[in-house]
Amino acid sequence: MGKLLIVGTVAFDAIETPFGKSDKILGGAATFIGLAASLYKNDAAIVSVVGEDFPRPYLDLLSNKGIDTSGIEVVRGGKTFFWSGKYHNDLNRRDTLATELNVLADFNPVVPESYRDSDVLMLGNLHPEIQMDVIRQMRTKPKLTVLDTMNYWMNHTWDTLMDVIREIDVIAINDEEARQLSGEYSLVKAAAMISAMGPDYVVIKKGENGALLFHKDRIFFAPALPLEDIFDPTGAGDTFAGGFSGYLAETENLSFDNLKNAVIHGSNLASFCVERFGTERLQNLASEEIQSRLRQFRELTQFDIEVE
Amino acid sequence: MGKLLIVGTVAFDAIETPFGKSDKILGGAATFIGLAASLYKNDAAIVSVVGEDFPRPYLDLLSNKGIDTSGIEVVRGGKTFFWSGKYHNDLNRRDTLATELNVLADFNPVVPESYRDSDVLMLGNLHPEIQMDVIRQMRTKPKLTVLDTMNYWMNHTWDTLMDVIREIDVIAINDEEARQLSGEYSLVKAAAMISAMGPDYVVIKKGENGALLFHKDRIFFAPALPLEDIFDPTGAGDTFAGGFSGYLAETENLSFDNLKNAVIHGSNLASFCVERFGTERLQNLASEEIQSRLRQFRELTQFDIEVE
């Protein structure tokens, strides 16, 4: 059972989909990552920042899942990061209605002493300087560092982002981001180009079209589970990252075969995330449900062809 | 080794992609289906129509692959069906530049006597009345009838199309077509709705995002092989259908597990088709290449997770 350090936003989200509208609810990359990772046997901690308006029960919710929240700074008189978005009818596109950075604007992450030797470091989407700051605070180099980032940082902080990308082992981004980062349309070429920037493993998330794992000349693909309905895609990518890193922190096996399994576990949890608003489904997920859906993943993808 | 009857267009195509422009080359659904199916051990025949302008070497090419071409009517003084299209930069969209029906406008299919007891009937995309005419000419009901169709027939010949759909076992269409046919956006719901119209099996092709096979409450998914470059997507769907039906005609095993294999074989051949203009790659495909890529498919998708 390894230690997992998660860095990312803990926030309020307000979400509108074709199926309904949420109030200001619990959100943020680190929240989704943490809740997903807590479904595996690991020792996880979140480093983040919230304002004084952040409800104590939300922090308790994370603690009750076994997540160390001592690295979540509560800024007196500060307001919590807030994001609001509205999804189009096909759920593949969304408009951001509001982004209020608030306390995130001056965030100086402090990694708790006892997690500076974490086995797995999961860097959620954040300013690359914050990500780099955390990397520098580690006393020992993590066995695996996983990075999420987005187009915004490619457009505004390219050099710092490149510094971060040189330090990490796995980058997990979506297809659009992979294309922008590499300048290549073909995802095979994009992955090769990105890997040359540093990371040994490139994970390209394609939403409802699954996820690809690239390592040297090897490729693995996991589909998204076909669902009757997708209710709210918010947090699916972070949930994937949480399942992926949480499973690896539990198993402490960094073989390609085990990273394949981690991709399946991440995809599996993401399929739950999208069934309700925000973190609702992740908060209440029975082990039997997870196992049952892993069986569905196996039936969905496994075949037995004799090859000469 | 079963008999496979293929009905569809044999045509001229002129294709423009971001990578080049072809002359008038060999095309048509039945051509792609036949060439793909001929890579399996079966006794295949094509029913189609061409004009007097259709080069004898093209017919010889099909015969040399072991395909019976006696059901391809050559209309004296007639001109062969011609399609021309231009792909956008992302290759996912194309504009049709020309569609000249020519001899196809008055096509009355005649199934050769010796193929009226075929085991597998593959109905390529054509006017549903022609498809129905062929179904009626069969002396014995095929063990498996596979249908391809497109939006055009849904818009213009809905009732006849429904008559055909009631008679068949497998429908193989793309995601857009499945959504239009069913009126459902979710492909899981779309497949259930379409299955209720008749076919026991629904195959939904998603191009570079793979293919889904639905049967009652079971779902199987095959990805498209991630390729460095896609040169020309023309005929990929037909090649899939040819691999699918050709493999089933060889194995004569209609279990769900074997239909899964057929989907993998179809996806495998489609991955070759897109590497060159038109049928070029299919015409020259070594058995070892096919086997080698099947191994890639296995590596791409197979994992080993213990589920409790």
ipTM of this complex prediction, to 2 decimal places = 0.92
- Cα A82 to chain centroid distance, Å, stands at 18
Residue A308 domain flag = no
From chain A, the residues in CB contact with B18 under 8 A are none
CA-based nearest residue in chain B for residue A89 = B185
The pLDDT-based confidence of B289 (bands split at 50, 70, 90) is very high
pLDDT, average across residues B273-300: 96
> What pLDDT is stored for residue A286 in this prediction?
95
- A140's tokens: 């020992």
Taking phi over 0 as left and psi of -120 to 50 as alpha, with beta for the rest, A188 belongs to alpha
| B308 has pLDDT over 80 | no
Q: Hey, is the C-beta of A283 within 8 angstroms of any chain B C-beta?
A: no
Q: Which of A141, A147, A102, A96 is nearest to A126 (CA)?
A: A147
- Can you tell me which residue has the tokens 């959504």? B179
A177-218 pLDDT tens trace: 999 999 999 999 999 999 999 999 999 999 999 999 999 999
Best mutation site among B292, B306, B307 for testing chain A: the one with the most A CBs within 10 Å?
Answer: B307
> What pLDDT is stored for residue B229 in this prediction?
87
d(CA A102, CA B281): 57
Residue B78 domain flag = yes
Residue A288 domain flag = yes
Q: Which residues pair with residue A27 across a beta bridge?
A: A11
CB atoms A301 and B186 under 8 Å: no
Domain CATH code at residue A278 = 3.40.1190.20
> What pLDDT is stored for residue B5 in this prediction?
98
Best mutation site among B228, B247, B303, B306 for testing chain A: the one with the most A CBs within 10 Å?
Answer: B303
Nearest-CB residue to A188 (from B189, B220, B227): B227
Query: Whole-angstrom distance between the N-terminal and C-terminal Cα of chain A?
Result: 41
DSSP letters spanning B97-166:
EEEE-GGGGG------GGGTT-SEEEE-SS-HHHHHHHHHH-SS--SEEEE---HHHHHH-HHHHHHHHH
The pLDDT-based confidence of A91 (bands split at 50, 70, 90) is confident
Residue A198 domain flag = yes
> What pLDDT is stored for residue B92 in this prediction?
80
From chain A, the residues in CB contact with B294 under 8 A are 305, 307
Residue A306 domain flag = no
Best mutation site among B186, B204, B228, B305 for testing chain A: the one with the most A CBs within 10 Å?
Answer: B305
Q: Which of B54, B47, B55, B53 is nearest to B73 (CA)?
A: B47
Contact A111, A85 (CB under 8 A): no
Residue A264 domain flag = yes
Q: Which residues pair with residue A82 across a beta bridge?
A: A12, A100
Residue numbers of the domain that contains A116: 3-301
| A308 has pLDDT over 80 | no
> What pLDDT is stored for residue A93 in this prediction?
87
Strands B43-51 and B3-7: parallel
- Can you tell me which residue has the tokens 């070029």? B280
From chain B, the residues in CB contact with A92 under 8 A are none
> What pLDDT is stored for residue A34 in this prediction?
98
Q: Hey, is the C-beta of A261 within 8 angstroms of any chain B C-beta?
A: yes
Residue A33 domain flag = yes
| A23 has pLDDT over 80 | yes
> What pLDDT is stored for residue A302 in this prediction?
95
B69-94 pLDDT tens trace: 999 999 999 999 999 999 998 888 89
> What is the b/e burial string over B233-266, where b = at least 16 CB atoms within 10 angstroms of the residue's CB?
bbbbbbbbbbbbbbbbbbbeebeeebbbbbbbbb
Q: Hey, is the C-beta of A56 within 8 angstroms of any chain B C-beta?
A: no
Q: How many domains does chain A have?
A: 1
A273-292 pLDDT tens trace: 999 999 999 999 999 999 99
- B94's tokens: 């194309």
d(CA A278, CA A265): 19
- Cα A210 to chain centroid distance, Å, stands at 15
Alpha-carbon gap: B260 to the closest alpha carbon of chain A (Å): 7
pLDDT, average across residues B35-52: 98
Contact A84, A96 (CB under 8 A): yes
Question: For all residues of chain A together, what is the average pLDDT?
Answer: 96
B105-160 pLDDT tens trace: 999 999 999 999 999 999 999 999 999 999 999 999 999 999 999 999 999 999 99
| A121 has pLDDT over 80 | yes
Going by C-beta distance under 8 Å and a sequence separation of 6 or more, which residues neighbour residue B186? A227, A228, A229, A230
B201-237 pLDDT tens trace: 999 999 999 999 999 999 999 999 999 989 999 999 9
CA-based nearest residue in chain A for residue B207 = A209
